[in-house]
Structure 1
Amino acid sequence: MTTETLPIVGAGLDRVDAPAKVTGTAHYPNDFDYPGMTHAALVRSTVAAGRILAIDTAQAEAAPGVLTVITHLTAPKLDRGPMTLLGGSPPAPLQDDRILHHGQHVAIVVAATAEQARHAASLVQVEYDRAKAVLDLDDPRAEIITNPWNLDTERGDVAAGFATAAVVVEGTYTTPDNTNNPLGLMATIAMWNGDSLTVHDSTQWPRNVRTTLAAVFKVPESGIRVLAPYVGGGFGAGLRVWQHVILTVLAARATARPVKLVLTRPEMFTSVGHRPNSVQHIRIGATSAGDLVAIEHDGTSSVAMQDDDYEPVSLCSAVSYACPNVRTRDRQVRLNIPCPGSMRAPAEGQGNFVLETAIDEVAHALGMDPLDFRLRNHAAVHPLSGLPWSSNALLACYTLGAERFGWSRRTPEPGSMREGRWLVGYGLAGAAYPAYQVPCQARASVHRDGSAFVRSAATDIGTGTYTVMTQLAAELLGLDTSRVRFDLGDSDMPYAPQAGGSGLTGALGNAVHAACRRLLREFLDLVRDDPDSPLRGAGLDDVTVSGGRIHRTGAPDQGESYTDILARHGLEELGADGRSTPPQAEELGMAVAGAFGAKFVEVRIDPDLGLLRVTRVVSAIDGGRILNEKTATSQIVGGTVGGIGQAMFEDTISDKETGRIANATFGDYLVPVNADIPDMDVIFVGGPDRATAIGTKGVGEVGLVGVAAAIANAVHHATGRRMRSLPITIDQLTL
């Protein structure tokens, strides 16, 4: 089966959901309303550790409009949610009197209006038996977890490798907590009808919400419907079923009324995860010729008292370079902090900063150009398995990116480039994000009017899923994109995994591919023995689709339209299901590749004031087959903005004594704004990946990876100072 249309996939098609968004007709979870809707507000702990001695809800219950106040004394016993693809569920809320972190939910208030609920919540009085919180990674009281998911690696003989090294560089690096902070506040609406439940939620994974709520409330999954057609961002915050979602459902059951809960901005800092902080030690050895001989990378990161979130920050060092002797180790330290969670480029964002900064240090110690050093140590095969990559255009990312950026203009000596009073620095970093794909399902149908409807229970968090799946289905079915409707965000649709880990486009795209091919086969089966059809006896390999018609390849006059086939057989529509499964390296004989990239950054620094400005960024990306160049470019630009935030601005600051987050507002938590972002240049290199039918590799995360390291390396080139902690601040730059 082939297509005879102008290229649909790959073209920079405008977002198909843009008109709904700009006209205000796109309904986000907070936009829905139901008769009798009530509103909820949360009461949060003001201590980080201890127990609740007493909780007085009398004033709150007597306040105007209040329907109920639920605390650990009145909440039913709830099971913890199930294990998921991303690990365990967060602990169930309001199950005992223990306080595990500052900002923990200790009560939920439901009232007729949001204002009444918030006022009543302020009237709840809680008395605590305060304990000394464990808030520091070095606290000797802290529980330490080693190799929690068995992801530590070792190959070769690291000690012997270092013994042969002419240059050894080592250092300790730190990265802080970051908070996801999508612009839209996360919201949940819950409405029970007997044992049936409808939920609108700011989730990146509707099916996981359905499965979790069924387990927690002991009701059949078939009776739960979770809706999230528009989410409004998440950056990973919507990947888990957080406690506020369960509390909203609990409140709706207790009141027998629909309940809406919208988190406040400070609540977003303690309710929906964050990028955990880390302390990492790395040691790298190389020969005088510039060959890596040993890497040792140890990472320590924080985790909550009762949680299983895990980010192996050192793992990137095991797979990034052709080094014969490598050991990576990760451990976690349990602290009295809110549950961490995925934030764009989890683990890689922190680990790459350390690895790529240290690689630059080695190159500098050897007197080698940092680009040449990376090219010399390129991993032509997967370093752990030894298998050839299913695709890897990292060398092209380096060479083409360097050409576009003008890397050859760089003079090697730190501090040697100036423009007026400004010090100018050039920096680069390699980037990668591992392949991730899980099973997915989709359904495609064509109607009597010749239009197609394709759907799956996925979400679009602004990445362009609506658009690229419309393009893909249109090309596979030989239709104009205006004749294809792609729908998502409904747990009643065929199963889809989370929009996260740069894995949805591949999983969903391959499921859509399978569904569309099967649908064409269904059409051909209809006419297989039809004497009136010019397609009689044709198989998939014999036909081409274009203009809403199926015809024999090379013979456009020997075919007919979907509409004619359906009409002749008395059908209003014909549909088919498709599913995708993850590619297996063993079966393919190849290492399934994720995205690769190279980041080139120019910075300027005022040596007197310590001002740091990013003035140019070039991102060269191997993202496999690009389904839509415009939306893919947008992903890389957005990820780069996030990387600038990680490098220069973002730091979730907790008080060292109380555990209270001190900057939990947009007035205090710094993020990059327009004035901080230069024009960005994005180029895509490479071609379709061989591991899957559609040849894509996710680009949602790789845009952030490498940015912090490239900026830190550019700062060193400008000033001679190495940046080993994030964010890079004025006090580090004043010369």
Structure 2
Amino acid sequence: MTTVEGARTVVGAGLDRVEAPLKVTGSAPYPNDFSYPGMVHAALVGSTIAAGRIRRIDASAAQSAPGVLTVITHLTAPQLERGPMTLLGPSPPAPMQDDRILHYGQPVAVVVAASLEQARHAASLVRVEYEPTEALLDVEDPRAEILVDPWGLDTERGDVAAGFAAADAVVEGRYTTPDNTNNPLGLMATIASWHGDSLTVHDSTQWPHNVRNSLAAIFKIPESGIRVLAPYVGGGFGAGLRVWPHTVLTALAAREVRHPVKLVLTRPQMFTSVGHRPNSVQHIKIGVTAAGDLVAIEHRGISSVAMEDDDYEPVSLGSAVAYTCPNVLTRDRQARLNVPCPGSMRAPAEGQGNFALECAIDEAAHAVGMDPLEFRLRNYTEVHPVLGLPWSSKALRECYTRGAERFGWSRRTPETGSMRDGRWLIGYGMAGVSYPFYQVPCQARVSVRRDGSAFVRSAATDIGTGTYTVMTQLAAELLGLDIDRVRFDLGDSDMPYAPQAGGSGLTGALGNALHTACGNLVREFLEIVRDDEASPLRGAGPDDVTTGEGRLYRTDAPDRGESFTDILGRHGLEEISADGRSTPPEAQQLGKATAGAFAAKFVEVRIDPGLGLLRVTRAVSAVDGGRILNEKTAASQIVGGTVGGISQALFEETATDPGTGRIANATFGDYLVPVNADVPDMDVIFCGAPDPASALGTKGVGEIGLVGVAAAIGNAIHHATGRRLRSLPFTIDQLL
């Protein structure tokens, strides 16, 4: 089956979002917007210590408060199973199972009342006496339990010690990144409603099937008895990838009071309840020859993990495959601390690790007097350094050259502090970027109806990445229909299985499943008319036909065809449906290493040395994302990621009080993020070609937008001032 070329091609076009009218009119139904007859409200009570035990909990005042239906504590909660192993690792521990306190803000009670105001008031009346112990809060605390390479991802090749011995220059440094908190504008919410032994859940999730599977295991009920709905989620940035305690407690509360229950987290609870980017301390050492050849890289990182959690972000892993270098060692460790469970936040692991690597690469180039761009091109690798296989596709060299040209890198003078505009010091910085390939199995279903419209569905979610739009475009192109004749639905666990919206893997997985489903649907139509004497398609096979203008026709004879509508009508059918599955390619089958996205980031900064003011004034991102299904939504992802990278570099830091473990800036008034005045002129270029490892040729662009921005800013600061800053975020005191 082929599709119509030329004007009929809609994939790649920068179409507006198909769901935009619903969003801008306030009609899009987010989890918090749903309601049920008899629905009541829940509020959480969080621990005010970071470590210890509950000595006594008194809920009597809360229980007798107006409107209260119940107060659940560890004394009254049933024993719950821990959720299952997932594609992203183990589930967080089940909540309120004993008297132990493992982090500040840990739920110790949930109050259910007729109204939200009554629930929150009653929650304030719960009295808890604690037996505190000293909390572990520092990843370098020698008392902390250290997990050594828990997922077996450490790497080593060559002889690193010999490489450093042979180097003409060695640079090394200690880099730190703080906790960052996922802060979507919309508060995370859950509504749970039981109907006998069946459960319906509306949840701010990026993965409906994970919520269904987890709740089934936790409450020991069949998965078929649970339906999870998330047609609109809003931002998530990774916060919706795990099944958090508040979701479990909402379902528990609804079962206890026999009413539908809604629970909406407060902004401070968002800092303790739905994950965060774990902080890291990284030591990196690079050896280089006088000619500018890398001979050794050693990258060691340690990051935080909760006391009874297993989330893992190997921050050093990207250094193993970034450059041609014969001797490389990467090591990752985790320290168990009294902190809330971490979780993915946009560009997990690479967001931290790339900062250290690319700043150190810049320093190595400076040590041998080489332009940072030239140094990266000299050490460019055309093959996967660990597997020894060529990449399935890699246009990073093109990203470097086109990005540098668009940015005007040639105007950069090499000496630090040599570019000025009045009192402002000007710095140019860059970073090379990659993000790992990620794709997992996915399913989709497509139907064509007698009115000539198509209905496509899969249990994916759209967190602003454009899934609604690009899948509508793709189905329209594959079936030869106009955009307005295609409806795509998602966010329902009763639909065919889909993985999480995260890791830059959903578009490829879902798109390939949809590609297969549309091909199967064409086969179904051809099977119907195989022996139909009235059909000009009689006896045609999938390779003999093309789709276009709502019809199937013979590729070698465009006048010999008929519409989907005609076929359905003549055979008395209302619709025909077909399913499709996708499975990820394997390097061994391809003879190549599956490639994720690559990019080159260039930034300009201006610094007032007297005041320590720092402004990012320009940013160029040149990105190899494979085939781009929608230039507008893809560019929007890169722009949003760039703003997130600026935020990581200059603003975001979740501040934990070292004495109590309390998060000291858990409001939008204190947790800083960029505003419009902080966002510079941004340019996005897409490079490369479709990746042959995928039927669609996509590689994903959701994560790559953030990676490298912090490093490029740090390198630009060094160019402007001569100061090498190694601790995020970059603050005024570091520049004075």
TM bracket (short chain): over 0.9
Alignment of structure 1 residues 142-221 onto 2, 5 Å:
142-221=144-223
State how 1:13-412 maps to structure 2 within 5 Å.
Answer: 13-412=15-414
Query: Is 1:659 matched with 2:653?
Result: no
Distance in 1 (CA, whole Å) between partners of 2:162 and 2:462 is 49
The AA in structure 2 aligned to 1:240 is R
How far did 1:330 drift?
0.2
Output the CA distance in 2 between the equivalents of 1:386 and 1:538. Answer: 44
Deviation at 1:439, TM superposition (A): 0.3
One-letter identity of the residue aligned with 2:45: V
Structure 2 residue identity aligned to 1:308: D
> How far apart, CA to CA, are the structure 2 residues paired with 1:115 and 1:593?
51
In structure 2, what is the Cα distance between the partners aligned to 1:535 and 1:325?
61
Paired position in structure 2 for 1:728: 730
- Choose the corresponding residue for 1:465, options 456, 464, 467: 467
Distance 2:706 2:595 in 1: 18
1:559 to 558, 561, 570: 561
Distance in 2, Cα, partners of 1:39 & 1:655: 31
Quote the residue 1:679 is aligned against.
681
**Distance in 2 between the 1:165 and 1:529 partners?**
74
SS at match of 2:124: helix
How far apart in 2 are the matches of 1:487 and 1:712?
42
Whole-angstrom distance in 1 between the partners of 2:423 and 2:136: 46
* Cα deviation digits, residues 213-247 of structure 1 (max 9, x gap): 00000011001000000001100000000000000
Equivalent residue pairs, number: 734
SS in 2 for 1:327: strand
Partner Cα distance (2:341, 2:315) in 1: 17
CA distance in 1, matches of 2:202, 2:225: 14
- Cα offset, 1:136, TM superposition: 1.1
User: Which runs of 5 or more structure 1 residues have no equivalent in the other structure?
Assistant: none
Task: For 1:656 and 1:510, locate their aligned partners in 2 and report how far apart those are by CA, in whole Å.
Answer: 48
> In 1, distance between residues paired with 2:4 and 2:222?
46
Letter in 2 for 1:610: G
Q: Which amino acid aligns with 2:91?
A: S
Post-superposition Cα deviations, 1:435-455, rounded to whole Å, max 9, x if no partner, equal 000000000010000000010
Match of 1:625 in 2: 627
SS at match of 1:209: helix
Partner of 2:275, secondary structure, is coil
2:476 corresponds to 1:490: no
Q: Distance in 2 between matches of 1:539 and 1:369?
A: 57
Aligned-partner Cα distance in 2 for 1:242–1:473: 34
Secondary structure of the residue aligned to 1:240 is coil
Q: Which deviations, in whole Å up to 9, do the C-alpha atoms of 1:495-531 show, x marking residues without a partner?
A: 0000001100000000000000000011011111111
Aligned match for 1:668, one of 667, 670, 692: 670
Partner of 1:442: 444
| Structure 1 segment 635-650 matched on structure 2, within 5 A | 635-650=637-652
Q: Distance in 2 between matches of 1:668 and 1:153?
A: 39
Q: CA deviation at 1:140?
A: 2.0
Q: Secondary structure at the match of 1:138?
A: coil
Partner Cα distance (2:690, 2:367) in 1: 38
Which of 543, 546, 552 pairs up with 2:545?
543
* Greater CA drift, 230-239 or 156-165: 156-165
- Structure 1 residue runs of 4 or more that deviate by more than 3 Å after TM superposition: none
Give yes or no for the alignment of 1:519 onto 2:521: yes
1:605-620 aligned within 5 A? 605-620=607-622
Q: Displacement, 1:159?
A: 1.0
**What is the deviation of 1:694?**
0.3
Letter of the 1:598 counterpart: A
**Alignment-derived partner of residue 689 in structure 1:** 691
How far did 1:548 drift? 0.1
2:576 aligns with 574
Q: Partner of 1:585 in structure 2?
A: 587
Cα root mean square deviation, aligned: 0.5
CA distance in 2, matches of 1:2, 1:458: 26
**Counterpart residue identity of residue 103, structure 1:** G
1:138 CA displacement: 2.0
Q: CA deviation at 1:474?
A: 0.4
Distance in 2 of aligned mates of 1:709 and 1:109: 45
In the TM superposition, residue 556 of structure 1 has moved relative to its aligned partner by 1.7
User: What corresponds to 2:480 in structure 1?
Assistant: 478
Q: Distance in 2 between matches of 1:448 and 1:138?
A: 66
Cα distance between partner residues in 1 of 2:3 and 2:58: 69
Q: Which amino acid is 1:357 matched to?
A: C
Q: What are the residue-to-residue correspondences of 1:422-441 with 2, within 5 Å?
A: 422-441=424-443
Q: Within 2, Cα distance between the matches of 1:485 and 1:147?
A: 45
Correspondence 1:2 to 2:10? no
Aligned to 2:498, the other structure's residue is in SS state: coil
Q: Give the percent of matched residue pairs that are identical in Structure 1 and Structure 2.
A: 80
TM-score by length of 2: 0.99
Cα distance between partner residues in 1 of 2:82 and 2:245: 10
Shift of the alpha carbon at 1:376? 0.5
Shift of 1:162: 1.0
Q: One-letter code of the match for 1:84?
A: T
| CA displacement, residues 662-707 of structure 1 (integer Å, 9 cap, x when unaligned) | 0000000000110000121000000100101000011000000000
- State how far apart, in whole Å, the 2-side matches of 1:331 and 1:174 are: 14
Q: What is the alpha-carbon distance in structure 2 between the residues aligned to residue 674 and residue 430 of structure 1? A: 26
With normalisation by structure 1, the TM-score equals 1.00
Structure 2: distance between partners of 1:4 and 1:452: 17
Q: Report the equivalent of 1:416.
A: 418
Distance 1:342 1:136 in 2: 20
Structure 2 residue matching 1:237: 3-state secondary structure: coil
SS in 2 for 1:68: strand
Give me the whole-angstrom Cα distance separating, in 1, the residues matched to 2:394 and 2:715: 24
Residue 500 (str. 1) matches residue 502 (str. 2): yes
Query: Structure 2: where are the runs of 5+ without partners?
Result: none
**1:708 alignment counterpart:** 710
Task: Classify the secondary structure of the residue corresponding to 2:352.
Answer: helix
Please give the secondary structure, in 1, of the residue aligned with 2:215: helix
3-state SS in 2 of match to 1:123: coil
Q: Distance in 2 between matches of 1:539 and 1:287?
A: 60
